[in-house]
Amino acid sequence: MNIALVTCESLAQYAAPNVEDEDSLLTNYLRQQGHSVEPRVWTNPAVDWLRYDVVVVKSPWDYFDRVDEFYQWLAHMQQLGVRMLNPAAVVRWNANKKYLLDMEREGVRIVPTQWLTRGSELVVEDLFEQLGSEQLVVKPAVSGGAKNTFALTRQESAIRQPELRELLRHEDFLVQPFQPEIQAEGEWSLIYFGGEYSHCVLKTPKSGDFRVQHYLGGGIEPREAPAHLRRAADDIIKRFAPGCLYARVDGVDAAGQLLLMELELIEPFLYLASAEGTLARYEAALKQLC
């Protein structure tokens, strides 16, 4: 196949010594299997997307910084009739974390969430009462890479409230109770290719932090997915990731149940170097969908 691998202008800020360059790993493997693979920056207007058999969305890690432009690009791809994986409609739905509301309405257990609409009045103290927690996590509704994401205690709330109000002037936010399971055990990531389970890792934050991203010092441990988490994730993929080349279910094990934190369908790191056969399973799903 002739494949365009969608990326952004720079991936440098997401590099870390404890992980391989996943884009290069994937590109080299697919080329070894006889495919033509060209990295293409989604913001480059000179790209002729119709030249490719398939456009694979891999690492547009700046989309949340220019989301309106990203939505326009997705619409353009749909107008062109480009074969895109993951599908443009699914990517657009997944770009705003309000997709979690859709999933909750369909019975998926998510982290309890309060939504803060851009420009709304913010009373941080009320959020502690509404969510019944002494520590909160605040993040933008459109975000990635832990941008503008921070934990907040009652003691810090008065100091941080002006900062939060300023951020809320520009975009929607969501607020969730801090999940102690992240520091006690870690965050589970179950990865799927073509709707089928592939592999799993357990991500842990560095000491004193709650963010598990590897480029922020988080740890990565390949693990077999616990059966009860696997069952819940399988159901999520079946219902909410139709026609997807890849998907990653992120959550914590809360009293023996999967508590969903994110369903990643746009540009997740897929931990391709963490298990045997991941690249072969990725290519098999790609060929099946094309």
Other Cβ atoms less than 10 A from the Cβ of 206: the count is: 12
In this prediction the pTM is 0.90
Coil, strand, or helix at residue 155? Answer: helix
Q: Rounded to whole angstroms, how far apart are CA atoms 290 and 182?
A: 38
CA distances 164 to 123, 157, 263, Å, are 10, 9, 25
Residue ranges, CATH 3.30.1490.20, the chain: 114-177
Of 61-70, 105-114, 163-172, the least confident: 163-172
Q: Rounded to whole angstroms, how far apart are CA atoms 255 and 290?
A: 40
Residue ranges, CATH 3.30.470.20, the chain: 99-109+181-276
Residue-wise pLDDT for 103-123, tens only, equals 999 999 999 998 988 888 877
Q: Rounded to whole angstroms, how far apart are CA atoms 28 and 15?
A: 18
Question: Per CATH, which fold does 114-177 belong to?
Answer: Dna Ligase; domain 1 (3.30.1490)
Q: Which residues contact 115 (CB under 8 A, 6 or more apart)?
A: 98, 101, 141, 172, 173, 174
The percent of residues above 70 in pLDDT, for the chain, comes to: 91
pLDDT at residue 41 above 70? Answer: yes
Q: Are 241 and 268 in contact (CB under 8 A)?
A: no
Q: Which CATH superfamily is domain 99-109+181-276 in?
A: ATP-grasp fold, B domain (3.30.470.20)
> Which structure tokens are listed for 196?
């089928």
